[in-house]
Amino acid sequence: MDARERQWHERRMGLITSSCLSDLMTKGTKGVLWGKTAIGYLYDKLYERRSGRPIRNSSNRNFEFGHINEPLAIEWMRENLPYTIKHCSSVEDFPEGVKFCDDVLDGFGDSPDGYADEDMVVEVKCLASQGKFEMIRRSTKADVVEEYRYQFVGHLIGNPHCNKIIYVCYDGNDEDDEFDNGDLMDENRGVVFIYDRSDFEGLIEECMERIMEANAALNEALETGEKLEQILNG
């Protein structure tokens, strides 16, 4: 882990983040407002706040594949889209450190993948599954938003200056694939969907309220030693 990655882990430690906002929004059965998934996620955040160190994340093929291919996806955008693209992990674009937005809402942080023309936030997915990529190529905006709706909302919360989200799904390269010798910048390597802030009207406010309630519960649990489920569900 280099110094920039370590700094990024330290900054997001203990904060609710966009990538797990869907977990936070999970409700329980029989009218319970905070489900097991949401409570479990908040215990991870509580551990980080109490211990002062990040939760261990077990890497998987999808994560590693995406991490390796994200810079290629950004270059693909620069080659194929009519925008000025900044990559949030790039030393050239953000020399002070990996871009992390934690100054909008207490207890919340956001890590966008990039920006387009400064006022559009970028989310990149590099899928290890080629079949899923092929499915997405044939999908509508309404189809693909379902899987990442809350992450998109988190980006908009963390970046109030941005009124659009560009979602790029990129057909990444596996160095062990002897058959993949094509042009990595070919226009068919990527699929682009653009969403407006107005597409998430109402949901943004709902998520912000949930984040604030969760952050207050984390603070109370730290202070009192009480269980989160007791604080949140009574």
Measured in degrees and rounded to the nearest 5, phi and psi for residue 222 equal -65, -40
Q: Which of 1-5, 26-30, 55-59 has the lowest mean pLDDT?
A: 55-59
pLDDT (tens digit per residue) in 142-178: 999 999 999 999 999 999 999 999 999 999 988 778 8
Distances (CA, A) of 184 to 45, 69, 90, 226: 38, 10, 19, 52
Q: What does pTM read for this prediction? A: 0.93
Contact 196, 156 (CB under 8 A): no
Classify burial at 122, counting beta carbons within 10 Å of its beta carbon; exposed 0-12, middle 13-18, buried 19 or more.
Answer: buried
| CATH number for the domain whose boundaries are 3-233 | 3.90.320.10
SS3 helix, strand, coil % of the chain, rounded to 5? 50, 15, 35
Query: In this structure, which amino acid lies at residue 195?
Result: Y
**Band of residue 135 on the pLDDT scale cut at 50, 70, 90:** very high
pLDDT (tens digit per residue) in 46-70: 999 999 999 987 666 777 888 889 9
Nearest to 126 by CA among 167, 85, 98, 164: 167
Contact 104, 148 (CB under 8 A): no
Question: In the chain, what percentage of residues exceed pLDDT 90?
Answer: 82
Residue 58 is predicted with a pLDDT of: 66
Contacts of 4 (CB under 8 A, 6+ apart): 89, 91, 97, 98
In this prediction, residues 204-223 reach a mean pLDDT of 98
The full set of domain ranges for the chain reads: 3-233
What's the mean pLDDT when you consider all of the chain? Answer: 94
